[in-house]
């Protein structure tokens, strides 16, 4: 009964036409706010998904590093145990450290990452190769797969592959360096160029594991990490098994744990956006308060009639709270439908493009999520209750004004 009365009030005609206009303005204010929230959060989800995809392709499913120090020893028996764990698809020893790369008068500091041939099954860098081939060579003929940013810093011929560069690295003695001649110096040849995103493109160079060991003056059983790719969804069991083999002195982390700060920041950014837009919607709801207040004044006679028929103050209050909910949820439904249609069109046809042409995609990615819709509907209900509370209390108070 309360709903039917509220619905009749919403659809009815008023003595002052302005009330109806203000009511519909309030509905469309909620609709615009809802559409903006869904669209912006969906775009945020899209960018987050793209970034996560890039990180997922670049980082291993599981990475083992020492809790203290940069390098650790792994013997053949332990390595064989790790390789034979059920659920492990591929495994690679890794030597990773910074080195100075020089070509003519150009130089840059890069992270040289030495890996085994099996690394192609762990890291999907070959999917981002721009030129050349995904070859890392061997100890005698080392090859470099460079990030495109490093290639540019070295001034290499971007239309050609095969330039030789000099690599300088600090040896294990840790003695102070006063000139380049005191560093380990080796030559390597460029075999390919990749481009994932700037963070990786400007830092990483891939080469073979033996060459990296030799460059950084390590023992044959010394590594800086061990990386895995896994089969299926047995990540927890595999991590537990690796930890049991290597012991508590090692950190065994999945992709999320390797980049936990990044993922947290992306989530915080998303909900900061939500809070800012929610505040804007809350301000927009002032129109709703005004419309409901004017409607209470318009329906003062009806309120007294309802009271004479036995309606309590809470009954009157419920009618106007429901009316507030109807207006808010109708606005949310209109905004949600428009935003969903826009998201579908952008997902299907990519008609809104990114400027600059330097990103891995040329359009705004979009990914609507059910949790966003639930959060937005919850927000709209809260706004409806807040906006309708004061006018509904005024409506209920009209009963006592009559009595007095």
Domain borders along the chain are: 2-56+262-403, 60-255
pLDDT digits (tens, 9 = 90+) for 137-178: 999 999 999 999 999 999 887 667 888 999 998 765 555 444
- The Cα 367–Cα 49 span in angstroms is 8
Confidence (pLDDT) at 186: 86
Q: Are strands 164-169 and 222-223 parallel, antiparallel or unpaired?
A: unpaired
Residue with tokens 């505040």: 279
pTM of the model: 0.75
**What percent of the chain has a predicted confidence (pLDDT) above 70?**
90
Q: Are strands 88-103 and 106-115 parallel, antiparallel or unpaired?
A: antiparallel
**DSSP output for 145-192:** EEEHHHHHHHT--TT----EEEEEE--TT----SSGGGSEEEEEEEEE
- The Cα 250–Cα 228 span in angstroms is 15
Predicted confidence band of residue 183 (pLDDT cuts 50, 70, 90): low
> Does the pLDDT value for residue 347 go beyond 80?
yes
**DSSP output for 351-396:** -SBPSSS-SSSSB------HHHHHHHHHHHHHHHHHHHHHHHHHHH
> Does the pLDDT value for residue 17 go beyond 70?
no
Confidence (pLDDT) at 284: 75
Q: Where is pLDDT greater, at 22 or 58?
A: 58
- The Cα 358–Cα 360 span in angstroms is 7
Predicted confidence band of residue 197 (pLDDT cuts 50, 70, 90): confident
pLDDT digits (tens, 9 = 90+) for 266-310: 889 888 989 988 888 888 778 788 878 877 777 777 777 777 777
pLDDT digits (tens, 9 = 90+) for 69-127: 899 999 999 999 999 999 999 999 999 999 999 998 899 999 999 999 999 999 989 99
224 with 111: CB under 8 angstroms? no
Confidence (pLDDT) at 403: 45
- The Cα 170–Cα 382 span in angstroms is 61
Confidence (pLDDT) at 206: 96
Residue 108: count of CB within 10 angstroms of its CB? 20
Q: How many CA atoms lie within 13 A of 188 on its CB side?
A: 33
- The Cα 222–Cα 196 span in angstroms is 29
């Amino acid at each position: 009964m309360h709903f039917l009365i509220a619905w009749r009030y919403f659809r009815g005609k008023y003595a002052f036409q302005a009330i109806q206009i203000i009511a519909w303005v309030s509905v469309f204010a909620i609709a615009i706010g809802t559409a903006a929230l869904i669209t912006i959060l969906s775009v945020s989800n899209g960018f987050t998904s793209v970034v996560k995809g890039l990180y997922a392709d670049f980082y291993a499913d599981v990475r083992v590093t020492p809790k203290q120090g940069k390098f650790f020893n792994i013997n053949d028996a332990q390595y064989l145990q790790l390789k034979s764990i059920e659920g492990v698809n591929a495994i690679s020893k890794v030597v990773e450290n910074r080195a100075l790369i020089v070509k003519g008068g150009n130089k840059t500091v890069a992270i040289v990452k030495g890996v085994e041939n099996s690394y192609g099954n762990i890291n999907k860098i070959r999917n981002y190769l721009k030129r050349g081939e995904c070859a890392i060579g061997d100890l005698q003929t080392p090859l470099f797969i460079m990030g495109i940013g490093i290639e540019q810093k070295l001034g290499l011929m971007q239309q050609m592959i095969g330039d030789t560069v000099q690599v300088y690295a600090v040896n294990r003695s840790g003695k102070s360096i006063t000139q380049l001649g005191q560093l380990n110096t080796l030559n390597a040849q460029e075999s390919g160029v990749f481009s994932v995103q700037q963070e990786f493109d400007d830092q990483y160079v891939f080469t073979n594991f033996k060459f990296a060991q030799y460059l950084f003056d390590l023992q044959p059983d010394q590594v800086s990490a061990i990386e895995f790719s896994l089969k299926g969804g047995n990540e927890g069991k595999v991590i537990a098994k690796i930890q049991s083999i290597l012991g508590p002195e090692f950190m065994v982390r999945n992709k999320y744990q390797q980049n936990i700060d990044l993922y947290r920041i992306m989530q915080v950014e998303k909900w900061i956006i939500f809070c800012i837009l929610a505040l804007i919607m809350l301000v927009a709801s002032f129109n709703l308060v005004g419309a409901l207040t004017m409607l209470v004044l318009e329906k003062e006679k009806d309120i007294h009639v309802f009271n004479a028929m036995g309606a309590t103050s809470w009954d009157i209050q419920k009618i106007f709270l429901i009316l507030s909910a109807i207006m808010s949820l109708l606005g949310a439904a209109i905004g949600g439908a428009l935003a969903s249609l826009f998201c579908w069109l952008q997902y299907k046809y990519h008609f809104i493009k990114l400027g600059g042409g330097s990103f891995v995609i040329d359009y705004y990615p979009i990914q609507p999520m059910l949790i966003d819709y639930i959060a937005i509907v919850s927000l709209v209900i809260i706004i409806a209750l807040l906006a309708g509370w004061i006018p509904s209390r005024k409506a209920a108070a009209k009963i006592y004004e009559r009595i007095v």
